[in-house]
Structure 1
Amino acid sequence: MRLKTLLQVLILFGIGLFGYWIYHSKIFETNPPEVKMMVRIGNEEKEVMPGANFWNPYRDMVLYMKDASGIRSYRIIAKSENGSILIDKQEAIVQRPEHLKVLLPKPNVMLKENEHIFYEIIVNDWSNSHFFSGNTTKLKFDFEVDTEAPLVRMVASSYKISYGGSALLIFKIEDKSTREVIVTNGTDQFKAFPFLQKGYYAVLIAWSIRNKIFNGTITAIDQAFNTKKVAIPIIKDPNVHYRFSKIKISDQFLNTKLDHLIDVIGERSPSSFSEPLEKFKYINELIRNKDENIIFRTTNASDYQGYLKPIHFNVFLPLKKAQVVGSFGDDRTYLYKDKKFSHSMHLGLDIANYKNAPILSTNAGEVLFTGLLGVYGNTVLIDHGMGLSSLYSHMSEFEVKAGDVINAYTEIGKTGQTGWAFGDHLHLGILVQGYPVRVAEWMDAKWIKSNITDVFLKAQNIIEGKK
């Protein structure tokens, strides 16, 4: 009796083990084949999702098939709008490859613009699941023929862009299926925002002070991956000069001014450095770089769906009767005993009035950030729309917090000397999608009128058909 019971247990165990093997075996796996349609764009490939799509038949399309049990067969069917079969390609694969790549066959007929072609892709694997019939993947595509590249037309723009400065561009893209708009200065990319009516875009673009050359272009890509790239028709002024400063660092400064800031930063102890010069480089280069990355990520991430009217920008005058005590774009080389040992670039304008002077945001916006940064000290970042942000640093106190939506001429805090500041002052920065630009332009009412306000007005009149 015991032997019989033991035998039954062994049989049940064997059946369970066999079932487990079947369930986990490639021979009986139940996952359908993975099938992707990719279109070749130069040296790249972009995935085309099933469903309605625009298609340029002059581009190669590739089917990628993948399955753990191997690909058994595939069938590609293409039909015209009236239901006639243009392609019916079938192939059985006896080698059982786990990966298979097939060029999508194209109809051997002349295709008209806007004509629809319907593809069905059927792929079977070598699994013995589903009573040995295997697993099947079916994909359907509705392709509308589109071979025409988008048309890009400039509507209005700033007269010129200066080295380190910014400009406003408003343009129109004529295409039935715009996928992506790329605006670049040759190095950095800028998001263009939908403006007023469908097909129109506005963008503030920067000529970063770190880029010696401005090679601005606008690229429009449609759903069929037809691409049009045009040069930005704007005068480039490279004849803006910035200071190159050589600053000598004394032993007294190295031994008295660094430890406190390192303690405030809190990442390392002053005693962890082997020498004072190492402390200086740590603050001036590593911490400064971390601060600037935080500033860039915060101001570059702001996004809007579009703008139904132009934005009015006031001049940025955060302090009354202020004096300039530090220049934008100052390229600073630090010397110790006449040897270069560190370098930085000043990406804002330092201005001062009296101690703990009130700071105004003369433009409305949303507060993106209030907090302590290493070199910049207590800092406020405000988004004013169209990718334009302002930065206020070294503050002694805040009057706003992140998330606040403020009106123009709101007091946001007081000047101070937090961070790496030697004397009470304000570090003012203006950023276009995260890139610092010439502050002087945005403090000049005439420049704003000519390069921003009048450009918005001209574009609005053109778009809305006004004289």
Structure 2
Amino acid sequence: MARRKGQGSSRKGTFLVFLLLLLLAGGGTLYFLNAEGTPPQITLTPQTSYIGQDAQLEVALQDPDSGLRQVTVTAVQNGTRIQVLPPTDIRGGQWQQAFSLKNLGLREAPFELQVVATDRSWRRLGKGNIAQVQHQFTLDTTMPSVGVQSVHHNLNQGGSGMVTFSASEPLARAGVQIGESFFPAYQTENDDWICLFAFPYFATPGEDHPVLVAEDRAANKFRTGFTYHVNARNFPQDRIRVSDAFLQAKMPQFQNDFPEAGTLLQVFLQVNGPMRDQNRSWLREVGQKTVAKRLWEGKFLRLPNAARRASFGDQRTYVHGGEAIDRATHLGVDLASVARAEVPAANSGRVVFSDFLGIYGNVVVIDHGFGLQSLYAHLSKSMVQEGQEVTKEQIIGKTGATGLAGGDHLHFAMLVSGQPVNPVEWWDTNWIANNILSKWEYLQENAS
């Protein structure tokens, strides 16, 4: 009987050991499954060096494995720790929160922003994986000051202007705003700023005013007006007959762009409307391909021995079958010479576009610096490539009737940051001397 009792105790002990091993194995497996070692991912925006007190920051967290547990955001300046977001319990695999630095007592000086996040992993005795991100900022709450240097700003509706100014600190963005149109300013080698701008043809004198805008690295903004005078213009009215012969000759090339258009007339309406808008939008993008350097000298050249066929700002009404079908504004000067006439570069610069562009056909755009560009459209042939430097009077192509042109001619346009302006001003030596070069010379004299 004693031997049987001992055998029972032995079996019981073996069972307990087996059970313990089983529990340890299960616990180890459970720990392995819940103790993953990947910490949360932290994204802090914006990643700038300078920041204003009103700036909106955002922290975003991700932890798809074990889920998020807690986040804390702290600002540290001169050894003082300031709580921006107190320890916040969170759940789920994603989380984001926007916050500002207002009313935290930070001074205008460098500080460090620290973000600490933990997840729900069983690592660190159940405290989870920890992630930390630090970013150095400089708090700047003072808006820049700007001093306008140029004096006379005489403008024509649809024409160009130039303003020069100095700034009290480095700027991230500056320029002239007229309504919804913004014209960037560019810093010179002498740290002054130059802004070529347009008073757009669609702006209303007396209602739309040019405003100088300056924004520093911390997004503090300064706005000021400046003295100017603008002459209103009554743009000519023109009626353009759209014949069936024109539609049959010009619209087939655009049918693939508008397969839903059932007739050639419907194709024309799409080309003259939406495509025209798209092309002009593209030219505004091309207008950003410029350099902060003056590449041109003297007045701009006009196509030699050419008659003017259309003017800048013409208000066109398109007529088909005796009825008005569409309207558009002509934003260049049409010049007609002999067929396939050689086209000279109006001034020195760098080619920033040479390709087919919808209504304009084969186009060359030359950048002359500080946002000023010249455009040559409807070419039968382009003789330059993008990136090529050209000199004044260099032959860049030949006139033609590509795009929406009804006959061989050159559509010549001048653009300021992509906004078409009246080319006649840039053909005028006196206008350039009084409105542009005098301001450049003033900057150079004061720099020396």
- State the distance in 2 between where 1:418 and 1:89 align: 62
In the TM superposition, residue 441 of structure 1 has moved relative to its aligned partner by 0.7
In the TM superposition, residue 167 of structure 1 has moved relative to its aligned partner by 0.9
Quick one: structure 1 residues 146 and 448, their matched pair in 2 at CA, closer, same or farther if it must change by over 3 Å?
same
* Counterpart code for 2:140: D
Which residue number in structure 1 is paired with residue 270 of structure 2? 282
Question: What stretches of structure 2 of length at least 5 have no aligned partner?
Answer: 1-24
Q: 1:64 aligns with which of 59, 64, 70?
A: 59
In the TM superposition, residue 48 of structure 1 has moved relative to its aligned partner by 3.7
Per-residue CA shift, 1:317-353, capped at 9, x if unaligned? Answer: 2422322111111111123354321112111101123
The answer to which of 383-392 and 362-371 deviates more is: 362-371
Which residues of 2 match residues 107-122 of structure 1 at below 5 A?
113-114=108-109, 116-122=110-116
- State the distance in 2 between where 1:145 and 1:290 align: 41
CA contact (8 A) 1:71 1:100 kept: no
- State the distance in 2 between where 1:62 and 1:294 align: 33
TM-score by length of 2: 0.80
* Counterpart code for 2:211: T
Quick one: structure 1 residues 380 and 35, their matched pair in 2 at CA, closer, same or farther if it must change by over 3 Å?
closer
- State the distance in 2 between where 1:20 and 1:95 align: 23
Q: 1:147 aligns with which of 141, 144, 161?
A: 141
CA contact (8 A) 2:287 2:373 kept: no
Q: 1:49 aligns with which of 34, 47, 60?
A: 47
CA contact (8 A) 2:72 2:88 kept: no
Quick one: structure 1 residues 190 and 323, their matched pair in 2 at CA, closer, same or farther if it must change by over 3 Å?
same
Which residue number in structure 1 is paired with residue 290 of structure 2? 303
* Counterpart code for 2:195: V
Aligned residues: 418
TM-score by length of 1: 0.77
Task: Name the SS for the 1:258 alignment partner.
Answer: helix
Which residue number in structure 2 is paired with residue 43 of structure 1? none
CA contact (8 A) 1:358 1:413 kept: yes
| 1:398 aligns to 2:382 (yes or no) | yes
- State the distance in 2 between where 1:100 and 1:294 align: 36
Per-residue CA shift, 1:13-50, capped at 9, x if unaligned? Answer: xx9xx989966x7x7472424253xxxxxxxxxx3438
In the TM superposition, residue 312 of structure 1 has moved relative to its aligned partner by 4.2
In the TM superposition, residue 405 of structure 1 has moved relative to its aligned partner by 0.9
Which residue number in structure 1 is paired with residue 95 of structure 2? 99
Which residue number in structure 2 is paired with residue 209 of structure 1? 201
- State the distance in 2 between where 1:461 and 1:91 align: 57
Which residue number in structure 2 is paired with residue 196 of structure 1? 189
| 1:222 aligns to 2:210 (yes or no) | no
- State the distance in 1 between where 2:30 and 2:61 align: 24
Larger of the two Rg values belongs to structure: 2
Q: 2:416 aligns with which of 423, 428, 432?
A: 432
Per-residue CA shift, 1:138-187, capped at 9, x if unaligned? Answer: 23344444332100111226522221111112211112x53333532221
Q: 2:297 aligns with which of 313, 317, 336?
A: 313
- State the distance in 1 between where 2:416 and 2:120 align: 56
* Counterpart code for 1:327: S
Task: Name the SS for the 2:190 alignment partner.
Answer: coil
* Counterpart code for 1:259: Q
Which residues of 2 match residues 278-427 of structure 1 at below 5 A?
278-297=266-285, 299-304=286-291, 306-307=292-293, 311-427=295-411
| 1:450 aligns to 2:434 (yes or no) | yes
* Counterpart code for 1:153: G
Which residue number in structure 2 is paired with residue 174 of structure 1? 168
Quick one: structure 1 residues 137 and 62, their matched pair in 2 at CA, closer, same or farther if it must change by over 3 Å?
same
CA contact (8 A) 2:248 2:264 kept: no
| 1:30 aligns to 2:38 (yes or no) | yes
* Counterpart code for 2:289: S
- State the distance in 2 between where 1:443 and 1:35 align: 54
* Counterpart code for 1:99: W
In the TM superposition, residue 86 of structure 1 has moved relative to its aligned partner by 4.6
- State the distance in 2 between where 1:380 and 1:103 align: 48
Quick one: structure 1 residues 312 and 155, their matched pair in 2 at CA, closer, same or farther if it must change by over 3 Å?
farther
CA contact (8 A) 2:37 2:123 kept: yes
In the TM superposition, residue 300 of structure 1 has moved relative to its aligned partner by 1.9
Percentage identity across aligned positions? 26
Which residues of 2 match residues 222-241 of structure 1 at below 5 A?
222-231=216-225, 233-241=226-234
Quick one: structure 1 residues 423 and 335, their matched pair in 2 at CA, closer, same or farther if it must change by over 3 Å?
closer
CA contact (8 A) 1:399 1:411 kept: yes
- State the distance in 1 between where 2:397 and 2:198 align: 28
CA contact (8 A) 1:86 1:108 kept: no
* Counterpart code for 2:345: S
- State the distance in 2 between where 1:150 and 1:405 align: 37
* Counterpart code for 1:243: P
CA contact (8 A) 1:158 1:450 kept: no
CA contact (8 A) 2:246 2:406 kept: no
Task: Name the SS for the 1:240 alignment partner.
Answer: coil
CA contact (8 A) 1:334 1:343 kept: yes
CA contact (8 A) 1:334 1:341 kept: yes
Quick one: structure 1 residues 210 and 239, their matched pair in 2 at CA, closer, same or farther if it must change by over 3 Å?
closer
CA contact (8 A) 1:64 1:100 kept: yes
Task: Name the SS for the 2:150 alignment partner.
Answer: strand
- State the distance in 2 between where 1:194 and 1:376 align: 32
- State the distance in 2 between where 1:339 and 1:322 align: 32
- State the distance in 2 between where 1:333 and 1:90 align: 61
Which residue number in structure 2 is paired with residue 160 of structure 1? 154
Quick one: structure 1 residues 180 and 59, their matched pair in 2 at CA, closer, same or farther if it must change by over 3 Å?
same
Quick one: structure 1 residues 225 and 414, their matched pair in 2 at CA, closer, same or farther if it must change by over 3 Å?
closer
In the TM superposition, residue 450 of structure 1 has moved relative to its aligned partner by 1.0
Question: What stretches of structure 1 of length at least 5 have no aligned partner?
Answer: 1-14, 37-46
Per-residue CA shift, 1:430-449, capped at 9, x if unaligned? Answer: 11111111111111111111
- Runs of at least 4 residues of structure 1 off by over 6 A? 18-23, 104-109
